[in-house]
Chain A
C-alpha cells in the first residue's frame, strides 16, 4: 500500500526556535493535511492543502503542498512549550476515495523552556 515517509521521527528544540518537518511519498497525493496529537487525544487538524505549490499559514504554522504532489512540509516558527506533541502528515492519494487518509508515522516534538 501507499506509504508516507515522515521525518524527522523526533525533535528536541529550545523554546523560540523554528521547526521544520516533512513528508514524502512515491505516490501522487490529491490533498495533504497536517494534524497534531496530544497524549491520549485524537488528532487535531492544523492545516489542509489542496493544490500543488499551495502555501498556507495558520498562525505560527506554515505548510506547503509540494509541486510534484509527492511531498509536503510543515514549519513552526518561534516554538513555545504548548507546541509539544506528535505531528502527523496525512493525505488522500490520487485516485483514492474521500476520507481514506494515509498517515505518516509522526514527528514527536519536545520543546525545552
Chain B
C-alpha cells in the first residue's frame, strides 16, 4: 500500500542551526502538507503546497520556515535557525487532487538543544 515516508525519524540539532526534514509523498498525490505536533498536544497545520507553490500557511509558518519540492518525488521542510520551541514531531502528509483526506507519514521527531 502506498505510503508517505519521512527521513530522518529523529533529528537532534543545536539551537540556531538549520535543519531540513525530508518527505516522499504518495506518488500520484498532488497536494503536500507539513504539520507539527508538540509533545502531548494536538496536531497543527503548518503549510500546504500545490503546483510548486505554497497554497496556504499558518501563523506558525514564519520566515524561519520554507518548503521545497526539489525534484519529482521529494518534499522538504527547512527551518533556517532552530529555536528550542521548534522541538516537536513534524509530519508530512499528502492528498489527491480534490480529496480532503490527508495521509500522514510516520513523522520526524526534532529535538533542539
Contact = CB atoms under 8 A, between A and B. Distances in A.
B91 A42 contact: yes
Interface stretch (B70-78, B80-88, B96-104): B96-104
B51 interface: no
A102 interface: yes
A43 to B, nearest CB: 5
Contacts of B101: 31, 33, 45, 48
Contacts of A97: 48, 55-56
Contacts of A92: 100
B79 interface: no
Contact of A42 (B31, B95, B106): B106
B65 interface: no
A111 interface: no
Interface string A82-107: 00000010101000011111111110
B44 interface: yes
Interface residues of B, number: 27
B95 A43 contact: no
Contact of A98 (B41, B43, B48, B107): B48
Contacts of B45: 99-102
Nearest to A6: B42
A30 interface: yes
26 contacts: A31-B100, A33-B100, A35-B104, A40-B106, A40-B107, A41-B107, A42-B4, A42-B91, A42-B104, A43-B43, A43-B91, A45-B103, A48-B100, A88-B42, A88-B43, A97-B56, A98-B55, A98-B100, A99-B31, A99-B48, A99-B93, A101-B45, A102-B45, A103-B42, A103-B44, A104-B42
Interface of A: 30-31, 33, 35, 40-45, 48, 50, 88, 90, 92, 97-106
Given A45-B101, A99-B33, A100-B58, 6 more contacts: A88-B43, A98-B95, A100-B56, A103-B44, A105-B42, A106-B42
